[in-house]
A and B are shown apart, each in its own frame.
Chain A
Amino acid sequence: QSVLTQPPSVSGAPGQRVTISCTGNSSNIGAGFDVHWYQQLPGTAPKLLIYGNRNRPSGVPDRFSGSKSGTSASLAITGLQAEDEADYHCQSFDSSLVAWVFGGGTKLTVL
């Protein structure tokens, strides 16, 4: 059972917009700790996609965006492409556990 809750799967057709939620509590996201997002293509290591809730590292397309409100965060992907098919993971810090925590991951399928 992951500390942060993500939907197991989402899907969308090419060109569409999808969102992936990441729900925490008052000890992690709700306490103001940053949320980071990672993209994991099949058989590869995760790659940093969004950091500090809404910032994109160099080279990440602006089709990817992040937001945070209250005890939740969201990753939005617009103009969905076949190459976006991957697992997406959110991460934050939990002050009660004094530990980095991850969501269970969400598998994005491009129909």
Chain B
Amino acid sequence: QVQLQESGPGLVKPSQTLSLTCTVSGGSISSGTYYWSWIRQPAGKGLEWIGRIYISGSTEYNPSLRSRVTISVDTSKNQFSLKLTSVTAADTAVYYCARAWSPVDYWGQGTLVTVSS
């Protein structure tokens, strides 16, 4: 059973960089044809896709966030990461890491990141 776990600071100051890591267990991040993804959800709102990375290293990002987002993968640690620069209060949300092949079939439990001074 694949499990994903987000980790990182729960509080980030405005204009700084949000950094999160997702650790995958129960399977190798290098196996299969999966997209490793980040999705967020502001309180009381819908889901927003941030971006995804394929094991080859190719990435795709939400156009609305592309200029500020970087997703990377570390196969040796079975992890992938998210960096979001120049954050504002609008970036406050629960951030989920996820595995997808077309639908998302495995989700992390989510981690709340608050942007505040």
Supply 22 A–B pairs (Cβ within 8 Å), ascending by A: A34-B102, A34-B103, A36-B102, A36-B104, A45-B108, A45-B109, A46-B104, A47-B107, A48-B103, A48-B104, A51-B103, A57-B105, A91-B47, A91-B103, A91-B104, A97-B62, A97-B63, A99-B49, A100-B37, A100-B49, A105-B46, A105-B47
* A51 B46 Cβ-Cβ under 8 A: no
B39 to chain A, nearest CB (A): 8
Number of interface residues of B (CB under 8 A): 20
- The reply on B74 being an interface residue by CB < 8 A is no
- The reply on A108 being an interface residue by CB < 8 A is no
Residue numbers of B with Cβ under 8 A of A are 37, 45-49, 52, 60-63, 96, 102-105, 107-110
- The reply on A24 being an interface residue by CB < 8 A is no
How far apart are the CA atoms of A44 and B48 in the complex, in Å?
A: 16
* A104 B45 Cβ-Cβ under 8 A: yes
Q: In chain A, residues 85-100, which have Cβ atoms closer than 8 Å to a Cβ of chain B?
A: 89, 91, 97-100
- Take A45-B107, A57-B105 as given contacts and tell me if A102 and B49 are in contact as well, using a CB distance cutoff of 8 Å: yes
